[in-house]
Amino acid sequence: MAVSTSPLADLSAALVLEPVAAADWLVILPVAWCLAFGALLVMLRRPIGLHPFIAVAGLAGLVVIDGLLLQHVIANGPVTMVMGRWLPPFGIAFTVDLTGALFALVASIVAFAGGIYSLADINDSGRRYGFYPFLMLLMAGVSGAFLTGDIFNLYVWFEVLLISSFGLIVLGSEREQIDGAVKYGFLNLVATTLFLIATGYLYASFGTLNMADIARKAEGLRGTAPLMTLTTLFLLAFGMKAAAFPVNFWLPASYHTPRVVVSALFAGLLTKVGIYALIRVTVMLLPLEREELSFVIAAVGALTMLVGVFGALAQSDFRRMLGYLVISGIGSILAGIAVGGPGGIGGAIFYALHSMLVMTALYFASGVAAKLGGSFSLSSLAGLYRRHVGFAAISLMLAFAVSGLPPFSGFWPKVMLVKAALDIGAWWLAAALLVTGFLTTIATGRFFLLAYWRDAAEGEGATAEARIPAVILLPLAALTLLTLGIGLYPEPLLSTIQNAAAGLSEPSSYLNSVFPGAAR
Amino acid sequence: MEAWFALLVGIFFTVAIYLLLSKYIIRVLLGVAILGNAVNLLIFTGGRLTRGVPPVIPEGADALSGPAANALPQALILTAIVISFSFFAFLLVLAWRAYEDLLTDNTDEMRVAEPEEEPAPPLGY
């Protein structure tokens, strides 16, 4: 059964052994680069003083590579590379389209910012625990997940990033961290196992694991194969990875326990990998099933948004509030996936990219606030505005951005999502988006009022550091500027995202890249 | 043959989910181990079961002559076994550490990260 019976699979093409074009090596380079740096750092166990510099240089290189890759994909369309010249559908293919390249680039920017922030946040003991090797291997998993064109390979990258994240979340082994890691570890393992179950069923019904092959075979199998069951399983598995409403409880239980930079990277990267996989599978591979399930996805999205923002309102700990805001953002992305069409999918991709930047920056801000005010708790944080005006301004901008207010990056995707929802008549979904934005403004606004504008009690927090190192402010300010830049001049990103969304809904160029000449 | 295997996979899943629903970490761990095996069997069965025809190309031929056993699910399962075993090992150590540090293996009592008596955010200055 597994042997491809499709007449489209041209076996003679598999005998042609042209060397891979040099530019196509870019496809695999982000993963190979991160793995090489990870391996190097693992070998350099003794000189831990060198770790941060090697890792930051590696992450800077990763940003450049992902930027070149995005440029290559914009110029030439989707690019495919296969392992060992086992041509698809037999070998494992790496296929990069605009969506994957965009996610990979933003992920590398977030990781680079995290690498710089970690210079001041990770001390020698954290380095000895292996923060930097784990960080590079995490990025290998994240890049691999965004770039692969094979669904089982996607599962493998999920596991790579999951095991690295386990290493990062227990870094320091404090009681709180062990508690959080137990919940994070078990529930995420169950989620990836669900993904594997879905992949097993997918293989049993399609006989292939190549995404492009699945996309073109889905039409013919609709009558016989249980594709709805498959899509529902994928929705559950990726929803759990992304912390969507009924299966979101692992996130607020664990995201506030590790070091600030680890929380920031998790918030920026991990849930978004789940969302990316959900977009890839439901929009590109099984589009009709997504339409069937759109009401379920929309309801889950609306509930996720509202549960997230109500949770944020009820928290008095900065980082726990941010954990709930991550969940609330996932709800907005799900709403876009449910609505579909260029507006919905484009809005979902845009919101995911915005959320990666802003949530990471907000976690950085929580770290700075704790350094300045000596606490994460809303009842004791006070007077931050007086202590550092520049930081207060950055925080206010980020609060506006996460609430979806102009002129920041959260505004445009929200406009797209609300418009797309109204266009198909889902007024309740548009209302949920707007109410969520309003409640987020209240949650972040109240936080700003109490932690920044309230005067600190006499003598309180006097022991805390009054100055913050530049390596902490720099990545925070850079991410905030990026948010502002996207908000003020969204046109280039917006048009790229619209092309990316079009490439997902109409994947003929993706198929052409994997099967040259077959999908005529 | 596949039907019997499907039944077996179903039993594995039932046991795994029952154990995963427990409050006690050690039972959850057993559930995770069985769940991993259930998925491996599922993939194995999904590749269709063929007995006694190894996918070996006879001498002098270029291709397989007739139907043969599917080799791909075995490669997938091998990957999945390695991954699930390493995760199981990690979670086992983590559970032990949690028991040592938190003095309980009951997940209901693990409230260090999320204290039950947390004050609500202040209502005003």
Q: Is the CB of A166 less than 8 angstroms away from the CB of B90?
A: yes
Average pLDDT over residues A437-451: 93
Is the domain of A72 the same as that of A193? Answer: yes
Backbone angles phi, psi at A317, to 5 degrees: -110, 130
Residues of B with CB under 8 A from a CB of A: 20, 25, 28, 32, 35-36, 39, 42-43, 45-48, 70, 72-73, 76, 79-80, 83-84, 86-87, 90-91, 94-95, 97-98, 101-102, 107, 110-114, 118-122, 125
Distance from the B94 Cα atom to the nearest Cα atom in chain A, whole angstroms: 7
Nearest to B113 among A180, A204, A450 (CB): A180
In B, which residues are within 8 Å of A150 by CB distance? none
Looking at the structure, tell me whether residues A217 and A332 fall in a common domain: no
Q: Please report the pLDDT score of residue A388 as a whole number.
A: 87
Q: What is the pLDDT of residue A6?
A: 47
**What is the pLDDT confidence band of residue A12, given thresholds at 50, 70 and 90?**
low
Mean pLDDT (whole number) for A490-516: 90
pLDDT of residue A10: 53
- Residue of chain A whose alpha carbon sits nearest to that of B50: A1
Q: How far apart are CA A189 and CA B33, in angstroms?
A: 11
Angle at A30 between CA A283 and CA A160, to 5 degrees: 70
Q: Determine, yes or no, domain membership for A270.
A: no
Mean pLDDT for the stretch of residues A232-246: 94
Residues A94 and A48 grouped into a single domain: yes
| Mean pLDDT along residues A484-509 | 92
> Which residues on chain A are in Cβ contact (under 8 Å) with B70?
1-2
Is A40 a member of any domain?
Answer: yes
Q: Is the pLDDT of residue A131 over 80?
A: yes
Cβ-Cβ contacts under 8 Å, A254 against chain B: 113
Q: Choose between A460 and A417: higher pLDDT.
A: A417
A172 is in which domain, residue-wise?
A: 20-258
Residue B33, domain CATH: 1.10.287
Structural domain boundaries enclosing B85 = 2-51+69-107
A156 and A199 Cβ atoms separated by less than 8 Å: no
The chain B residue lying nearest A252, using CA atoms, is B114
The pLDDT assigned to A17 comes to 63
Min Cα separation A339/chain B (Å) = 33
The pLDDT value recorded for residue A24 is 76
Rounded distance, CA A175 to CA A191, Å?
25
pLDDT of residue A109: 96
Low-confidence winner among A161-170, A379-388, A432-441 (lowest mean pLDDT) = A379-388
Same domain flag for A164 and A305: no
A263-279 tens-digit pLDDT: 999 999 999 999 999 99
**Averaged pLDDT, A205-225:** 88
Q: Is the pLDDT of residue A516 over 90?
A: no
* pLDDT at A32 > cutoff 90: yes
Instruction: Give a yes or no: residue B99 inside a domain.
Output: yes
Which whole number is the average pLDDT over A240-245?
Answer: 93
- CB-nearest to B110 from A1, A179, A196 is A179
CB contact under 8 A, B42 and A201: yes
Which residues are CB-contacts of A503 (< 8 A; sequence separation ≥ 6)? A78, A97, A98, A99, A509, A510
Q: What is the ipTM of this complex?
A: 0.94
> Among the residues of A207-340, which ranges form H helices?
211-221, 227-242, 250-254, 260-279, 287-292, 294-314, 318-339
What's the rounded mean pLDDT across residues A32-48?
Answer: 92
Q: Give the closest of B36, B72, B94 to A193, CB-based.
A: B36
Number of domains forming the structure of chain A: 2
Of the candidates A1, A182, A317, which has its C-beta nearest B95's C-beta?
Answer: A182
Picking from A189, A313, A454, the nearest residue to B91 by CB comes out as: A189
pLDDT tens for the 125 residues of chain B, in order? 889 999 999 999 999 999 999 999 999 999 999 999 999 999 999 888 887 788 888 888 888 877 888 888 889 999 999 999 999 999 999 999 999 988 888 888 888 888 887 778 887 76
Terminal-to-terminal C-alpha distance of chain B: 71
Structural domains in chain B (count): 1
Closest to A446 in 3D by CA, of A312, A311, A287:
A312
The answer to whether residue B44 is domain-embedded is: yes
- Whether A253 is in a domain gets the answer yes
Question: Taking a C-beta distance cutoff of 8 angstroms, is the pair B77, B39 a contact?
Answer: no
C-alpha span between A63 and A57 (Å, rounded): 10
Please list every residue in chain A whose beta carbon sits closer than 8 Å to the beta carbon of residue B21. Answer: none
In a domain, A104, yes or no: yes
When pLDDT is cut at 50, 70 and 90, the band that residue A4 belongs to is very low
Averaged confidence pLDDT in chain A? 89
Statement: residue A13 has pLDDT above 80: no
Q: Chain A closest CA to B8's CA: distance in Å?
A: 15
